[in-house]
Every structure is written in structure tokens, then in C-alpha cells.
Amino acid sequence: MVIVRKSLKITAAVAAAVKEHKPKSFNGFIGSGSKVNAAIVTLDAKYDPVNTDISKENIIIVQAAITKAQKDVMDSINPEKEALIARNAAYVLMSTMATDSLRVFKSSKGVTPAQVKLATNFAKKVHSVRIKPIKKTPVVITTDSVDAKVLTAEEAEIVQLRHNSISEQQFEGRSGNLLAYLTYLSGQLNYATNNERLKITTMMDYQESLPLLNSTAEATIFGTNKVRGIRNETFFNNTSGARFLYTQVKDYFASFGTKSVENKMVKGLPFPNLIKLANRTPTTNY
């Protein structure tokens, strides 16, 4: 009886830990995986499945893989964030530069109404090139995105930065319009200023810096999307993902009996499909 009571106490402790641990994130999923691994170690020689995919050795590999996959995503966030902030901050200056330089031109000696009209038209294009606002539709799960419901705070911030970038202005279009505007101003001999910030050479240097900022940001976005896609596959592939394999492990524990101590060690550990609520493309294997 003492042994039974001791076992029940252990089971109660495990159940309490499970109750506190309801993973609503990738890190929570990894935590559940750690508990399964601990249960396998506790079972020791009794854990002896024929299926080598859920062997002790392979489950250790699976746990390491999902841990690395999540870390790779998180490690990609800061470089992308920095690149997006740098790009967005630089592009914000375009409107101010166009407005201020146009005022300089209007106040220049010998400027004609025809020149002002042309310059104004060029400057307006720097301000007004926009693309359609982002539609409020469910997130589509591809290797480029994840369900917003499972984003960390850092990932949510990146999404907001991306959305601001996309919805507020089209970078390449505005940069091209700025170049056209500056090219026009550079051909007007009466454009003159002592303000270093608004000199043609300074503004041209600024314009030439924009493509690199844009390509750097796009490269970091691509990198984040790539590792996020790898993570999603590692967690949720229908035949080899961690969720599928951990579910098989739980079934193996249940084979000792639904009310057995062994089964109670892992029964309450959830491994939710964190992206199941999102719309899927036909090729999505989740």
C-alpha cells in the first residue's frame, strides 16, 4: 500500500505540473517535449517501442531539432528588426527632403512658374506613391508566415514593422521618384542653397543609399521566413514532425493502460497544432 500511495503522490505531482503547463506557444510545446523525454528516462528499460521513430534515441534528436528550429527563428528576429527600422527611418526622410528642397527651389533667384510647376509635380510623386492597404484576412500558412495567434512579442513587432513598411509606401517606387525629382533639380542652375542637407550632392548620396537599405531588409525578411518555414515543418509535418511523433509516444505510454501510472506521466501533456486555425494553401503539409 505504501508503494501504491507513493506512486499516486508522484502521479499527482506530475498531473499538477501538467495542469500548470498549457503550451500556447512554440516554447511551451518544447517544454511539453522535455517532460515526455523525462518520462521516457523514468521508464528506462520498460520504454522499448518497436517503432524506431519513437525510440529514446530518436526522440532526443527530435527534441534537439525543435529547440534549434525555434532558436533559429528567434535569432533571426533582431537582424530583421534592425534592418527594417533602418530602412523605414531612412525612407521617412524622403517626404521631408522633397518638401524642404521644393521650398528652396521656389525661393531661388530667377525661378519661373513653369519650373515650379514641374518641380512640384515631381515632388508630389515622392509623397504619394502608395500601394493598397493590407487586407484584414486570416493569415495564410506558408513558409513565409505563421498564425498571429502564436507569435511572440518580438515576432509581433516584426510583423508590425513589415506591415508599416508595406502599407505606407512602396520603397522602390518612391526611391525612383525621388531620383527623378533630384535629377530634374540638378539640371536647374538656379537651384541653390547653403543648407548642406538640401544640396543636390547630399540628397543624391542619400538617394543612392536607399537601395542597399531595401535589399538588406528584404534579405533579412527572406531569412526569417525561411527558418520559420523550417520550424513549422520540424514541429508539424504530418508524418515526421515533432507533434506527430510525440503523439505516437503518448499512445505507447497509453498501451500500459489508460489508468496506469505510466500513462498518467504523459497523458495531460498537450502538443497542439499551433497553426491549425490559419487558412492553408493546397501545398501546406500541416
Quick: pLDDT tens for 131-142.
Answer: 444 444 433 333
Instruction: Tell me what pLDDT residue 151 has.
Output: 66
The string of pLDDT tens digits covering residues 33-50 is 999 999 999 999 999 999
Residue 284's CB is within 10 A of a number of other CB atoms, namely 15
Q: For Cα atoms 273, 274, 280, give the angle at the middle one, nearest 5 degrees.
A: 85
**Residue 206's pLDDT band (cuts 50, 70, 90):** very high
The whole-number pLDDT of residue 164 equals: 60
Which residue type, as a one-letter code, is found at position 100? D
- Name 105's Cβ contacts closer than 8 Å, sequence gap at least 6: 111, 115, 116, 119, 185, 188, 191
**Phi, psi for 140 (deg, rounded to 5):** -90, 130
Are 126 and 169 in contact by the 8 Å Cβ rule? The answer is: no
pLDDT score for 127: 81
Residue 260 main-chain phi, psi, to 5 deg: -75, 155
Alpha helix (H) ranges present in the chain?
2-20, 26-43, 56-106, 113-128, 153-168, 171-186, 200-236, 242-254, 261-266
Assign 77 a pLDDT band (cuts: 50, 70, 90): confident
Q: Which of 200-214, 242-256, 262-276 has the lowest mean pLDDT?
A: 262-276
The model's pTM is: 0.69
In degrees rounded to 5, what are phi and psi of residue 141? -85, 110
Q: Which three cell numbers stand for residue 142?
A: 506558408
Res 174 pLDDT > 90: no
* Strand-pair partners of 140: 279
C-beta of residue 105 within 8 angstroms of C-beta of residue 191: yes
- Residue 44 region, left (φ>0) first, then alpha (ψ -120 to 50), else beta? left
| pLDDT at residue 186 in the model | 95
Q: Is 204 helix (H, G, I), strand (E, B) or coil?
A: helix
